[in-house]
Amino acid sequence: MSYFIVTFDTEVKNEVLKALKSVPGVAINGVPLANGTVHVKTVTRSLDDESAAVHAMEDIFGVIDVRWIEK
């Protein structure tokens, strides 16, 4: 399980959050902030699945950046 901060365009906030919820192995781990960030965690069984989940988050329209954070 890894934690990430996803930065997104606030004009498409609802679409981004809906898309994040639909990515397999990704769980939103907090409330979206007004500055366009949200904390998420991956809940996958293998590194390949986690890598696929991160790439899927990066490919969402409106996502600006996905950064790993240490917890």
Taking only the tens place, the pLDDT of each residue in 20-63 is 999 999 999 999 999 999 999 999 999 999 999 999 999 999 99
Torsion sign (Cα): 32, 37, 70, 18: positive
pLDDT of 49 = 96
Q: How far is CA 67 from CA 19, 34, 58, in A?
A: 17, 18, 10
- Give all domains of the chain, ordered by start, each with its CATH number: 2-69 (3.30.70.260)
pLDDT of 2 = 94
pLDDT at 71 > cutoff 90: no
Q: Residue type at 15? A: E
pTM of the model: 0.89
